[in-house]
């Protein structure tokens, strides 16, 4: 951009900062959604640790180039909203997938997580993952099961040795 307007420079810097600070960015096409539907999706995403914003594609492309997320450029066509996700990416992907089921006009386009480009299919796979809390609970269950099973095994071994050691009268 030759002699860009200060507002555009500020907007590109804002998008770049959000891309750098996010664990993932998911692109969606929102053509045909009403303002109230979009507000509902924004609210649900906020609860899941995300923020859903609409920017001019040309400015979002520039920010993507600045942050090394060039892969997003090909998807930044048409009416596109970007979900910036901090924290539980799977929860945000679930929110967007459920919203797209309720509102078929909402289309998952893809995204980026770290330095990896995500196709729309990858976002669907992310949405199928259990939430972070569920995964932590499963891991905690595994951690408590190991010592418990070891204790049961040792107790059974001790009982077996004691029964063999008792002389038969």
Q: Burial level of 26, CB count in 10 A (0-12/13-18/19+)? A: buried
- Among 3.30.360.10, 2.170.190.11, 3.30.70.1730, 1.10.150.80, name the CATH number for the domain at 6-129: 3.30.70.1730
Integer Cα distance of 53 and 73 in angstroms: 16
Neighbouring residues of 11: CB distance < 8 A, sequence distance ≥ 6 = 55, 56, 59
pLDDT the model gives residue 142: 78
Neighbouring residues of 29: CB distance < 8 A, sequence distance ≥ 6 = 78, 79, 80, 81, 106, 107, 109
pLDDT the model gives residue 58: 93
pLDDT the model gives residue 169: 55
Tell whether the model's pLDDT for residue 98 goes beyond 90: yes
Q: Which of 75-84, 110-119, 127-136 has the lowest mean pLDDT?
A: 127-136
Neighbouring residues of 32: CB distance < 8 A, sequence distance ≥ 6 = 105
The half-sphere exposure of 37 on its side-chain side, counting CA atoms within 13 A, is 15
167 falls in which pLDDT band (50, 70, 90)?
low
pLDDT the model gives residue 141: 79
Tell whether the model's pLDDT for residue 19 goes beyond 60: yes
pTM of the prediction?
0.74
166 falls in which pLDDT band (50, 70, 90)?
low
Tell whether the model's pLDDT for residue 96 goes beyond 60: yes
Neighbouring residues of 97: CB distance < 8 A, sequence distance ≥ 6 = 108, 123, 124, 127
Estimate to the nearest angstrom the gap between the alpha carbon of 109 and the chain centroid. 14
User: What average pLDDT score do residues 53-82 get?
Assistant: 91
Could you give the residue ranges of the DSSP H alpha helices within 74-131? 89-102, 120-128
pLDDT the model gives residue 168: 54
Strand order in the sheet with 50-54: 50-54, 80-85, 24-29, 107-113, 116-119
Nearest to 26 by CA among 53, 5, 6: 53
Give the domain ranges of the chain. 6-129, 130-169
Percent of the chain with pLDDT over 90: 51
Which of 38-42, 72-76, 125-129 has the highest average model confidence (pLDDT)? 38-42
68 falls in which pLDDT band (50, 70, 90)?
confident
Give the pair of three-digit tokens for residue 71. Answer: 């892969």
């Amino acid at each position: 951009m030759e002699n860009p307007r200060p507002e555009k420079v500020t907007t590109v810097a804002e998008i770049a900062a959000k891309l750098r600070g996010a664990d993932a960015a998911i692109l969606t096409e929102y053509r045909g959604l009403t303002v109230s539907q979009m507000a509902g999706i924004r609210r649900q995403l906020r609860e899941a640790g995300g923020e859903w914003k609409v920017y001019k594609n040309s400015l979002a492309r520039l920010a993507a180039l600045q942050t090394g997320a060039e892969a997003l450029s090909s998807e930044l066509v048409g009416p596109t909203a970007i979900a910036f996700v901090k924290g539980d990416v799977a929860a945000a992907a679930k929110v967007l997938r459920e919203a797209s089921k309720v509102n078929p006009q909402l289309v998952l386009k893809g995204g980026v997580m770290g330095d990896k480009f995500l196709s729309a299919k990858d976002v669907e796979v992310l949405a199928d993952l259990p939430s972070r809390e569920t995964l932590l609970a499963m891991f905690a269950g595994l951690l408590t099961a190991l010592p418990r099973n070891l204790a049961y095994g040792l107790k059974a071994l001790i009982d077996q040795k004691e029964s063999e050691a008792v002389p038969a009268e």
